Structure 1
Amino acid sequence: MKEVEKYPDPNRANKLDAFDRLLTIMDQLRNLCPWDKKQTIESIRHLTIEETYELSDAILEGNLEEVKKELGDLMLHMVFYSRMADEQKAFDMADVLNGISDKLIHRHPHIYGDVEADNEKTVLENWEKLKLKEKGNKSVLGGVPTSLPALIKSQRIQEKARGVRFDWDNKEQVWDKVSEELAEFKHEEAEGNKEKATEEFGDLLFSLINYARFIKINPEEALEKTNKKFIKRFQYLESASKRDGKSLSDMTLTEMDEYWNAAKKL
């Protein structure tokens, strides 16, 4: 392995002490706390998923203080899983950390080996090729988790296909595909064929996600920002109309639009 410069970190000792402190606390909780003693790898899975989404929310809101807190929660979960696995003689925290370190070194041969990669595209292509060899997948798409939400899964499918150069040449081609899928969806919807319209709607979404990738927009983030914007405006509509003594159930759409338009100016 090629020798790579180690960059000095004046705070390394503090970071190691902090990690050691967390490991110590985890040992104490696992031995002394009734709740922590009862947990299993399976029982905290749903909590880990929840913490991941809370981290995502903090990132989208640009709240670094909350990002710090949510990272701490997730770090606790990583330590918790490792501690429980250690009790089963499966692996421990050192195995986890050494495993990811070994993987990073192996997948960055342009840093630690003799491979040349002077741009992001080449790095990503090499990464996907190495993953395919490591996992023994028969398909490039074999590494995409089946339980991913559909929108994120589409992103990962397209990224992996790009990793082996199965991709459009330019965004104009992708936009033509979006237009084609939109026309096909509108045709099937007009025909009243719900099954075909559903299929074409899926194709339309897939092509839009593809276009977003080409123009470097994360569709998951874009949609979540729109969700948050809608919630904020709708809650203004609710509170402002209530303050004026009105009930949504008794209001016309035109009346609601007045509050909605006011919310858009906030």
Structure 2
Amino acid sequence: MLELYHNDMSVCAQKVRLILAHKQIEWHSQHLNLRAGEQFKPDFLKLNPKAVIPVLVHDGNIITESNVICYYLEEAFDSHPLMPLELTKRAELREWLTRLDAGLHEHIAVISFCLAFRQQILKRYTSESALEDFLNTIPDPARAILMRDMVINGMSSPRLNIAILAYQKLIKDLATAVENNEWILSTGISLADFAFLPYVERLEQLQMAKMWSEYPQIDAWLTRIRATEAYKVAMLDWHNQNYIELMAQSEVPEL
């Protein structure tokens, strides 16, 4: 039995759910309310001391880190493969996913919190002392520093400009990849498409789709992947309208 500790709108969790759905793997849901801090509860910290989701538990084995989980699912379950056979194409796929771990994932968190989610935290912790108490519950000191910057500085955070520049580069590269192909890899739909979809959709939910206004092939790629059953099961059915509405009201920086 597979258990997935996840959250409805987490981009990392969405990525893993997409793989599970495409490969038609049955799994048991352990949904965590991140805004309520359920990831910091002792029982979950035993599974992942870093207090981040998703976490996959398979036959008692604990697997963390979303890209690692995606590779694990691909290797453990041979149904509907999402990695090409050709070694050079596999290397190309791994290069795409490495970009998420090398900064793009943190950058989407910066954009999301600076533009939208910080408002929710400030409403929950209305005094300076209450906010400090919340920040002190974050076990990773570096993560706590990042959270403090995003929540307090918002649109003024220098990290926001860096994050936006990184995603402008990604969108350009994605547009090049799908200009003459239906999918990111020329060999067909792969882990890369399902890995990047949640990040591009998050930008769209944050009213930043103008990033690809000059690249109609991005919209065409989105239309194709949203037509898959995996998208419906793994993302659409889990959409939290409260958070989508919150992101729709976010401040939008000049691009």
Give the TM-score range, shorter chain. Answer: under 0.3
Name the larger-Rg structure.
1
Please give the TM-score of this superposition, normalised by the length of structure 1: 0.22
Please give the TM-score of this superposition, normalised by the length of structure 2: 0.22
The higher relative CO (CA closer than 8 Å, separation ≥ 6) is in: 2
Q: Which has the higher helix share?
A: 1
Q: Which has the higher strand share?
A: 2
